[in-house]
Amino acid sequence: MDMAAATLRKRPLSVHTAVSNGNGNGFGVGHGAQEQGEPVSPSARLLEDFYIVVVIGIATPVNLPAARAGIEAQLIRYHPRFRSIQVKDASGNMRWVPTTVDLDYHIIYPNLDDVAVARDPDRAVEDYVATLSTRPMDKSRPLWEFHMLDFPTSEAAATTAFRAAGHAVAADAHGRHLGKAAPPASAGAVALAAWVWSFVLLTWHTVVDVASFFATILFLRDPRTLFERANQEPGQKKRLVHRALSLDDVNFVKNAMNCTVNDVLVGVTYAALSRYYFRKTGDADTSKEIRVRSILLVNLRPTTSLQQACVNLIESGKESDVKWGNELGFIILPFHIGLHDDDPLQYVRKAKKIVDRKKSSLEVVFTHLASEVILKIFGLKAAGAIFHRMISHTTISFSNMIGPVEQVEFCGHPVVFIAPSGYGPPEALTVNFQSYVNTMMVNLAVDEAQFPDSHELLDDFVESLRLIRGSA
């Protein structure tokens, strides 16, 4: 739907500049030195070219005055990143600086082709959201937008598409335990020996994972498959599609196999990619197994810490009392492509084994520290190139986030579904899972030219969960 792209407001592409506040310190955007803002974290700087897109289905038509009032009262007031921009200080360091927010710019109400909307409203929403991946955002303003698509689809009465720069919002954290506490003296020698052995394994696994990290940057790359990005040119359009799975089915498999929800979702992803691969390639050798890898971002800062930051801000009213930002590392997670039609539960068993192995490693801590050191020594351009090279040597981006267990509202509008995804990573395929009430949404961001049949891949996720659930 090309008209969708044409209706999107055109914005100039700007660059970070030093702005004088009249005091000679090189920044401020009209604010005094007391409002210089905190430095931009290394994690945020490395995510400058990553963007988050969350498609939200609502149960009622859009009430624009209520939406504006809610965004201003809840989002802008209590989340400083949504009213700040990045500006260089006199030393050349990037800082978050408050600025004036113009809601008329950040809330977009596009006029789409009425004929296209009437013919297929679901496709109209999907096509419009896809255009967002080709449109730059104006860095002289806070980097977020709400796109109001006020017409009914098969899923909701109206749809809101939220887009934001990845470094401007707080990412959800994957739970992470970085070591076991020592057992009490009363536990005995066996328990103490097991505790010591766990740290031996932790050390060994960390050494192996760190070696793999450097090898991936230097030369180690995944085998060529149809999932590898074929066109390495920047600015390729990403199509964002989603499908609801039953969270009850996921929990049933989890309980039956005594594993975690994440184990089940990784296993379902193994199965779905395998079904798609062997169908598309026509490969008759179903005994083969191909090993590719995914990048899994992990926030070392607990989600509870970010929630407490919001509470502190509300209670004190002072942003200086609050620490914002993320401490991001990542894990290189192996994915196995192979057929196990005789025993679909094998996908989950393999997933559990690999995920458990990754939990016994300090890989995420090392990658977080390495990212900060590389950025400080080599600068943003070189660090970005190294980060890009590492991701280019893997195949998939993968994430899993826990969502609300009860229905929530968006500025007075009951939310029907939440489908978060994004674009920016140099991979052709990104897989994200998001739970909401009794559903588990699988969200795919795909290179549009490489995956014109993205809905077939979604079908493979549905069928894979059905087969695994049936076997369990």
Residues tagged active-site: 167
For residues 81 and 169, the answer to whether their CB atoms sit within 8 Å is yes
Helix runs in 111-260, H state only: 114-119, 121-132, 189-218, 247-257
User: How buried is residue 386: exposed, middle or buried, by Cβ count under 10 Å (0-12/13-18/19+)?
Assistant: middle
**Structural tokens at position 30:** 């009209």
Residue 90 backbone zone (phi > 0: left; psi -120 to 50: alpha; other: beta):
alpha
**Structural tokens at position 34:** 């007391």
C-alpha triplet 117, 128, 398: angle, nearest 5°: 130
For residues 362 and 354, the answer to whether their CB atoms sit within 8 Å is no
78: number of Cβ within 10 Å: 14
For residues 123 and 84, the answer to whether their CB atoms sit within 8 Å is no
- At residue 265, what is the residue type? L
Provide Rg for the chain, Cα atoms. Answer: 23
CA distance 467 to 457: 15
CB neighbours of 112 closer than 8 A, spacing ≥ 6? Answer: 1, 3, 4, 7, 124, 128, 149, 151
